[in-house]
Structure 1
Amino acid sequence: MNKQRRKLLQIGGMLGVGAVLFPYDIAARALDRAKLSKFGLQLYSVKEEMANDAAGTMRKLAQFGYKQFEGFDGGKGILWGMHPAECKSLLSDIGVEFISSHADVFKNLDAQAEQAAEVGMKYLICPYIGAQKSIDEWKNIAERFNKAGKTLQSHGLKFAYHNHDYTFKMLDGQLPQDILMENTDPELVDFELDMYWSHVAGYDPLEYIAKFPGRFKLCHVKDAEPEGGNAHDRGVLLGTGEIPYADIIRKSKKYGMEYFVVEQERFVGTTPLKAAEENAVYLSKLKV
């Protein structure tokens, strides 16, 4: 046997072994995937508990494994009546980062931004704007977002918008969410994709994130049961619905997603605190 033929046989043998081992290599890489190190909770998920005892509720949530909080204005301001120094001390004590808050971004924005900056928030988020009647109205909303973003930029914060399903419903042949994406300044405006709302509206969350890389830095993680008439009534605990979060979370990171925030608004056979605990358990075991 000449040297050239012997060499070819050796190469072929190695390729054969590689072909056999390749599936096991894939499996090994899957096993090596890291768990999600940090995830947050939108505190609206436990709004009644927050109203009764904000500090005590936040301590309980930290014990569940949440390392990040996203707030909301529950009628006492974005810090629920706490002074920024008091809130910051609490967060330091329980080891949680306050990343953002939903807020009325069109009212007293400078004052809210000062509070948010003092406790280390990165975002103030418009949680709801309502469906508009025309494309021009959506463009006007985009300009209002830019203006709010400019104000927040002066405080070292950034503006973001949280969608519902209405921005994923066609209007005059265009998608309102696209209008917002295309008419806002990326230097001033980010977006928080509520994956549940895009999903029940018929849009794949991951595909939409990939369509606008770098624009979605935060997301709401909540699951949807496979069947349901009203889009508002399909929310279920994470891991019990049809949204493939392990795949979405892993792949969305390469498009710029940084913050994964649990939100639970529907409670069947459970309580808000118990749901928060069970959702934390799910995410803490998720390999991405």
Structure 2
Amino acid sequence: MYNRKEFLKRSGGAALGLMLGPSLYAGCSASSRIKASGSISAVGIQLYSLRDDLPKDPKGILKQLAAFGYKEVESYEGAQGMFWGMGNKGFKRYMDELGMKIVSSHCDYTHDFERKAAEAAEIGMSYLICPYVGPQKSLDDYKRLADSFNKAGETCKKNGIRFAYHNHDYSFRLQNGQFPQDIFMQHTDKALMDYEMDIYWVVTAGQDPIAWLKKYSGRFRLCHVKDRKKGVTPKQGEPNLSVIVGTGSIDFKTILAAARKEGMQHYILEQEAYEKAPIECVKEGAAYLNKLVF
């Protein structure tokens, strides 16, 4: 079983001021992700949702996900790497067989990133994403991280893909009178990187996802669709309260409609806490998202 904090530390690159090199836009147009009716044409899933089951049988789990109606995959760096022991080309071949596409992966952008960007680009991925940096002691620390994001963005651009950052709640909580997320947005070059909004964590921080989508229109190109338990007031440091997507308190119909207008392109389910077997949770989540009209 993977430990979330250990994974995030390894994949997120919390170290400051890392000198990584280069990024370019290889994403698909937003209209290609939305049917004429306003529903999602290519529902995605973050494979971390199945972190206990996936390492035991990667191909078997991926086959089930395809059967549930997932069309896009966002991977992460587990013990077998982001391509789950198949290599980048082998993973793509299997995705092609299943009628799915790997569009992105969370990864450690502070280690061997040139190779990762080249391998991702080679199989037509659009993004490599930093999943976590952790709360920082000062606002200057966030500025230094923004500089390292720009350098990672340059590495990705050089290889023909994009870099992005995935938020948790800490960047949407005031620190010394400022939101760290504002620092990230304002100190990174939109020509080099985008952002993946984890809607659950924005709500958990007591913030309005729609307001942030409008404030930085066109910067949030991917989102994590992760629902939140009903009847619980958000508070800092709480345990993860994610529930099956579509059964919780988050108004995805309204939020995703706004996201679409502000340039959202990839809608990726993530499940972190479970009410039943993880595979059943993501099956029900896929059924909800594939029927959702906004």
Corresponding residue to 1:263 among 255, 270, 275: 270
- Tell me how far 1:274 sits from its aligned partner: 0.5
- Tell me how far 1:87 sits from its aligned partner: 1.0
- Tell me how far 1:233 sits from its aligned partner: 3.1
User: What is the aligned partner in structure 1 of residue 45 from structure 2?
Assistant: 41
SS at match of 1:160: strand
User: What is the aligned partner in structure 2 of residue 166 from structure 1?
Assistant: 170
| Structure 2: distance between partners of 1:231 and 1:203 | 16
- Tell me how far 1:50 sits from its aligned partner: 1.4
Q: 8 Å contact 1:193–1:220 — kept in the other structure?
A: yes
Q: Name the structure, 1 or 2, with higher relative contact order (CA <8 Å, separation 6+).
A: 2
| Structure 1: distance between partners of 2:257 and 2:114 | 36
Corresponding residue to 1:92 among 93, 96, 103: 96
User: What is the aligned partner in structure 1 of residue 291 from structure 2?
Assistant: 285
Deviations 1:43-82 (A, max 9, x none): 0000122111111111110000000000000022211221
| % identical aligned pairs | 43
Runs of 4+ in 1 over 6 A off after TM superposition: none
| Structure 1: distance between partners of 2:193 and 2:71 | 24
| Structure 2: distance between partners of 1:152 and 1:235 | 31
Q: CA RMSD in A?
A: 1.3
Q: For structure 2, list consecutive stretches of 5 or more residues without a partner in the other structure.
A: 1-35
SS at match of 2:111: coil
- Tell me how far 1:275 sits from its aligned partner: 0.6
| Structure 2: distance between partners of 1:188 and 1:35 | 29
Give 1:132-171 correspondences, 5 Å limit: 132-171=136-175
- Partner amino acid for 1:224? R
Q: 8 Å contact 1:233–1:266 — kept in the other structure?
A: yes
| Structure 2: distance between partners of 1:146 and 1:232 | 32
SS at match of 1:273: helix
| Structure 2: distance between partners of 1:37 and 1:174 | 37
Q: 8 Å contact 1:167–1:177 — kept in the other structure?
A: yes
More helix by percentage:
1
Q: For structure 1, list consecutive stretches of 5 or more residues without a partner in the other structure.
A: 1-31
Corresponding residue to 1:53 among 48, 51, 57: 57
Give 1:58-97 correspondences, 5 Å limit: 58-97=62-101
Give 1:221-260 correspondences, 5 Å limit: 221-228=225-232, 231-260=238-267
Larger Cα-atom Rg: 1
- Tell me how far 1:232 sits from its aligned partner: 2.9
SS at match of 2:132: coil
| Structure 2: distance between partners of 1:138 and 1:257 | 25
Q: Check if 1:102 corresponds to 2:106.
A: yes
| Structure 1: distance between partners of 2:239 and 2:153 | 30
- Tell me how far 1:231 sits from its aligned partner: 3.4
Give 1:110-129 correspondences, 5 Å limit: 110-129=114-133
User: What is the aligned partner in structure 2 of residue 5 from structure 1?
Assistant: none
User: What is the aligned partner in structure 2 of residue 188 from structure 1?
Assistant: 192
| Structure 2: distance between partners of 1:208 and 1:67 | 27
Q: 8 Å contact 1:113–1:152 — kept in the other structure?
A: yes
- Tell me how far 1:215 sits from its aligned partner: 0.3
- Partner amino acid for 1:37? S
Deviations 1:152-176 (A, max 9, x none): 1111111100000111111111000
- Tell me how far 1:33 sits from its aligned partner: 3.5
Deviations 1:233-266 (A, max 9, x none): 3211112111110111112111111100000000
| Structure 2: distance between partners of 1:33 and 1:89 | 31
| Structure 2: distance between partners of 1:35 and 1:191 | 22
The alignment's TM-score, normalised by the length of structure 2, stands at 0.84
- Partner amino acid for 1:235? S
The farther-off stretch of 113-122 and 250-259 is 113-122
| Structure 2: distance between partners of 1:233 and 1:104 | 22
Q: 8 Å contact 2:84–2:91 — kept in the other structure?
A: no
Alignment size in residue pairs: 256
| Structure 2: distance between partners of 1:193 and 1:61 | 23
Deviations 1:17-46 (A, max 9, x none): xxxxxxxxxxxxxxx944321110000000
| Structure 1: distance between partners of 2:115 and 2:205 | 35
- Partner amino acid for 2:97? D
